[in-house]
Amino acid sequence: MTTLFSKHSAHINNIDLYYESYHQQHAHEVPTILLIHGFLSSTFSFRKLAPLLANDFHVITVDFPPFGKSGRPSSFHYSYQNIAHTLWLLLDQFDYSSLIGIGHSMGGQLIFNMMHQRPNRIQKGIFLCSSGYLSRIKPPYTYLSYLPFFEKVIKRQLGKTGVLGNLHQVVYDKNMIDDEMIRGYSEPFEDDKMFRAFKKMMRHWEGDLPSEILQTIQVPCLFIWGENDRVVPMKTGKRLAQDLPNSQFISLPHTGHLLPEEKPWEVYQHIKDFIDIADRKR
Catalytic residue ranges: 105, 257
Whether 20 contacts 6, CB under 8 Å: yes
Q: Is the dihedral of CA 114, 117, 122, 123 positive or negative?
A: positive
Pairing of strands 124-128, 99-104: parallel
What is the distance between the alpha carbons of residues 253 and 256, in angstroms, rounded to a whole number?
9
CB neighbours of residue 10 within 10 Å: 14
The 8-class DSSP code of residue 227 comes to: T
Burial 124-157 (b: 16+ CB within 10 A, else e): bbbbbbbbbbeeebeeeeeeebeeeebbeebbee
The answer to whether the peptide bond before residue 220 is cis (omega within 30 degrees of 0) is: no
Whether 232 contacts 257, CB under 8 Å: yes
What is the distance between the alpha carbons of residues 129 and 251, in angstroms, rounded to a whole number?
10
Judged by DSSP in three states, 55 sits in coil
Q: What is the 3-state secondary structure (H, E, C) of 102-168?
A: EEECHHHHHHHHHHHHCCCCCCEEEEECCCCCCCCCCHHHHHHCCCCCHHHHHHHHHCCCHHHHHHH
